[in-house]
Amino acid sequence: MRNFLKNMIAIFVCLSGMPFLIREWVCRNRVAILLYHDPKPAVFAKHLAHLSHRYTVISLDTLVAAIHRKDFSEIPPKSVVITIDDGHAGNIELLPLFKKYHIRPTLYVCTQIIDTHRRFWFKIDGQSKAEKEKLKRLSNVERLASLKGTVDFEPEKVYSDRQALNMVEMKEMMEGVDFQPHTQFHPILPRCTEVECKQEILESKVDLEKFLGVECSHFSYPNGDYTEREIEIVKAGGFRSARTTDIRWNTLDTPPYQLKAIPITDDAGLTLFRAELTTIPQRLGRWVNSLFWRK
């Protein structure tokens, strides 16, 4: 039902001509940071083919440098940045596409889940969307206690299958990918104590720099949740930017520690993808969610 509605909205948006209007007017001097998680190569290939004719894909570094300089003169009109969150094992299959389209996306990874058989807490079998949404509102300690009690999950527990990228894959990807930290275990940061929050943010930078042997300077907030406290920790920790999931385009005036994003449905067909580039379906979706999952 949800998908049906989403696709109906997408058809309506595309028929209205909004994708063209927004691309030609809104995106002229604004940059979209697209946000994926675990897209399949066949779907992602279609998205990239669409983007390659209409937009310029630039790196996150280029955008962040321009925002810090307050100078967009080197940013081509209709630019997009591609970001992929978490470090899902399936991301390795996208590497040939990164090479084909000569793009260097940013992959934000959970540094204590990559190269292990640990699991993402939100990818445990048997959890409904409602249960996950409820867990996100608990304190970090309560969330972990609940996960232990209901599905016997522990952050450091080792499972038989692997959900995240491993070291060999990441080394292979490094040439075409900008890896950056996304905390160690993907907690909801504002629900953490200050000590937990600092550990998750700052130690994920240390982990990844040690792991890859390169400096990391961009961060993304798990689930897009942040407060002033998180911004201050990221800033003081030596990062140059942090990406949220606030739905909007980025301009010269976007605060670098609150970069905006346009979440894309991983398995979106071309019509839904074109509609999502306008942000209309996502804004409607957030509004509906806020009615259902209100505190």
Q: Give least dist CB 271 to Zn ion, A.
A: 26
Which residue number is nearest to Zn ion in terms of Cβ? 85
Question: Percentage helix, strand, coil, to 5, in the chain?
Answer: 50, 15, 35
Cβ closer to Zn ion: 85 or 230? 85
| Long-range Cβ contacts of 144-150 (<8 Å, 24+ apart) | 147/121
Question: What distance in Å separates the CA atoms of residue 274 and residue 13, rounded to the nearest whole number?
Answer: 9
Q: Give least dist CB 200 to Zn ion, A.
A: 12
Cβ closer to Zn ion: 86 or 115? 86
Cβ closer to Zn ion: 222 or 285? 222
Which residues of 192-258 form beta strands (DSSP E)?
Answer: 218-220, 241-247
Q: Give least dist CB 178 to Zn ion, A.
A: 16
Cβ closer to Zn ion: 86 or 178? 86
Q: Give least dist CB 83 to Zn ion, A.
A: 10
Which residues of the chain form beta strands (DSSP E)?
Answer: 31-36, 56-57, 79-86, 106-109, 178-181, 218-220, 241-247, 259-263
Q: Give least dist CB 222 to Zn ion, A.
A: 5
Interface characters, 212-231, with Zn ion (x: CB under 5 A): ----------x---------
- DSSP, collapsed to helix, strand or coil, labels residue 30 as coil
Under 8 Å between Cβ of 110 and 86: yes
Say how many residues touch Zn ion, by CB under 5 A.
Answer: 3
| Footprint of Zn ion on 61-120 (CB under 5 A) | 85-86
When asked if residue 200 is in the footprint of Zn ion (CB under 5 A), the reply is: no
The residue ranges that bind Zn ion (CB under 5 A) are 85-86, 222
